[in-house]
Structure 1
Amino acid sequence: MTHTATAALTRWRLKRPSIIPGFGLTLGFSLAYLSLIILIPIAGLFWRTAALGWGGFFAVLLDQRTLRALYVSFGTAFFAALVNVVFGVITAWVLTRYRFPGRRLIDAMVDLPFALPTAVAGIALASLYAPQGWVGSFFMPFRIAFTPYGIVIALVFIGLPFVVRTVQPVMEELDREVEEAAATLGASRLQTIFKVILPGLTPSILTGFALAFARGVGEYGSVIFIAGNIPYVSEIAPLLIVIRLEEFNYAGATAIATIMLLISFAMLFVINLIQGWNRRRYGNG
């Protein structure tokens, strides 16, 4: 074999042709898309915030109105995501494990918040849970609408499909023979759920929680109608950003947006670490 043929064979072994062609083109398109749509806007956000300097940035961060708005946004989003995890898993279980009349209709209704405009959802929820609304009138003198409780209800409404649609496919693939084996070995139903079923669902549950939480933190349209938007009480951070923009305080608006981005990234990073730890522990990743 000649030297040229040997070199060609070596190159072929080092870089074998892919079964699916077009890797270079698709990788380039992906990087260009990520840069134009995600990385460049985020870099611009940090660049505009840097104009404030550290002193100006911390002045915005430590402002009591900003801190309260961040607390309302992240607190209500976190609590709503927890509620969605509980009811989302139950809903996915019912849709996966049982056959009953109207099941397809309920399955389709889960996706309704995806299709419904957020402003329409906010107006509908505010009308229902207002003191004179069909639901709100039953809870008087305890008020739901125009308080942080109303924000939680709005975020539960828009976040439930994220948990259901994330958990449902994984639940459908669970091997029921493992559950039957646990039952034959003497495990109770609760033991089967917590020691056999939930460990396999934990990564998808955490993913659904992260998606619902991230959507809740940035939600605007469905919240402002039911929140009341009272400073220091029920004002959310996205609304405060809009207020700063209307005041032509662009640096202050970008600073609040940067703070939200950093907190969200930190929380999602922790959730991903927990997911990785769970996969290594149970060997399902």
Structure 2
Amino acid sequence: MSAIALKLRRARARNPLPGFGLSLGLGMAWLGVVVLLPLAALAVRAAGLGAHGWLRAIRDERVQAALTLSFGAAFAAALLAALVGALVAWVIVRYRFPGRRLLDAVVDLPFALPTAVAGIALTAIYAPTGWVGQLLAAYGIKVAYATPGIVLALVFIGLPFVVRSLQPVLETLSREPEEAAASLGANRFTALRRVVVPELLPAWLTGFSLAFARGLGEYGSVIFIAGNLPYRTEIAPLLITIRLEEYDYDGAVAIAALLLVASFLCLLAINLIPLLFGRGGRDG
């Protein structure tokens, strides 16, 4: 065997996938241009504000009200989506009934539906003159143009993250431990709490974190149903747009950077969840 053939054989042994180096280079270059470069530009611009610029932008009462609303509504919506999403995932995986596949497909609808369309539809339904809104208005309950409407819109876009995070775990979860617990005298609630919940908790926390991070940056589905009243129903992403229209670029950068850091921390927490629960890596 010649020296050239030997080198080629060793290269194939080290890299069995043809074109891996080129594919990796192109993929990383595309990722850098589309994702990393804009984020780096935002980070550099935010760092250039200095402590005084940051404090001036964040201490504004309107900014604080918008941030408080965005973080509070995103947390409440993520928690509600986590509870409802767990129930929906359990029904889809554990039960067989007519329309099950349709329900499974409907879960992904918020992924495909434009967020503006979702916001308009929710507003039309829950406005004081809407189908559901007029019934609630008779009891003094206001959903649209108030904080409950914002939470509702964020639940709508966050629910699929929880369902799709829990569904694969439920499908691979054997029923034998539950049956063993039942044979030892445990009731359904005890078996669920001691056997099922510990297995689902990492995926549940992942879905919650994804829904929370998605809710922080949501814009299209919220601005139609929120009412956008300063100090009351004005969310932080909308305030970024307003600051840009007012040519207050430093204020817009400060708010955007804060939301970016919060979203990054959520994604970091998602990657740390398997380690916290003693797993070597994420499934799939």
What's the TM-score once normalised by structure 1's chain length? Answer: 0.89
1:145-184 deviations in whole A, cap 9, x for unaligned?
1111100000111111111112111110111122211211
Q: CA deviation at 1:138?
A: 2.1
- In the alignment, which residue of structure 1 is the partner of 2:207? 208
Residue of structure 2 aligned with 1:63, choices 55, 60, 74: 60
Cα RMSD for the two superposed structures: 2.4
Asked whether 1:99 is paired with 2:96, we answer: yes
1:135-284 matches, within 5 Å, as 135-140=132-137, 141-280=140-279
* Alpha-carbon spacing, 1:230–1:284, altered in 2? closer, same or farther (3 Å): closer
1:39-58 deviations in whole A, cap 9, x for unaligned?
21111112222343220111
The answer on whether the counterparts of 1:51 and 1:251 sit within 8 Å (CA) in structure 2 is: no
Q: CA deviation at 1:223?
A: 0.2
The answer on whether the counterparts of 2:274 and 2:282 sit within 8 Å (CA) in structure 1 is: no
The CA distance in 1 between the partners of 2:205 and 2:16, in whole Å, is: 34
Q: Indicate the SS of the match to 2:277.
A: helix
Asked whether 1:43 is paired with 2:54, we answer: no
Question: Which moved further from structure 2: 75-84 or 131-140?
Answer: 131-140
- In the alignment, which residue of structure 1 is the partner of 2:108? 111
The CA distance in 2 between the partners of 1:237 and 1:147, in whole Å, is: 15
The CA distance in 2 between the partners of 1:231 and 1:175, in whole Å, is: 51
How many percent of aligned residue pairs carry the same amino acid?
Answer: 57
* Alpha-carbon spacing, 1:275–1:80, altered in 2? closer, same or farther (3 Å): farther
Moved over 6 A (4+): none
Q: CA deviation at 1:12?
A: 5.3
The answer on whether the counterparts of 1:200 and 1:284 sit within 8 Å (CA) in structure 2 is: no
* Alpha-carbon spacing, 1:19–1:185, altered in 2? closer, same or farther (3 Å): farther
What's the TM-score once normalised by structure 2's chain length? Answer: 0.89
**Aligned AA (2:265):** A
The answer on whether the counterparts of 1:61 and 1:259 sit within 8 Å (CA) in structure 2 is: no
- In the alignment, which residue of structure 1 is the partner of 2:74? 77
Q: Indicate the SS of the match to 1:279.
A: coil
**Aligned AA (1:98):** Y
1:3-42 matches, within 5 Å, as 16-42=13-39
**Aligned AA (2:113):** L
The CA distance in 2 between the partners of 1:215 and 1:125, in whole Å, is: 18
**Aligned AA (1:214):** A
The CA distance in 2 between the partners of 1:16 and 1:192, in whole Å, is: 49
**Aligned AA (1:110):** V
Q: CA deviation at 1:209?
A: 1.2
Q: Indicate the SS of the match to 2:142.
A: coil
**Aligned AA (1:147):** A
Question: Which moved further from structure 2: 204-213 or 23-32?
Answer: 23-32
**Aligned AA (1:139):** L
The CA distance in 1 between the partners of 2:112 and 2:171, in whole Å, is: 24
The answer on whether the counterparts of 2:57 and 2:250 sit within 8 Å (CA) in structure 1 is: no
Gaps of 5+ in 2: none
Question: Which moved further from structure 2: 142-151 or 259-268?
Answer: 259-268
Aligned residues: 277
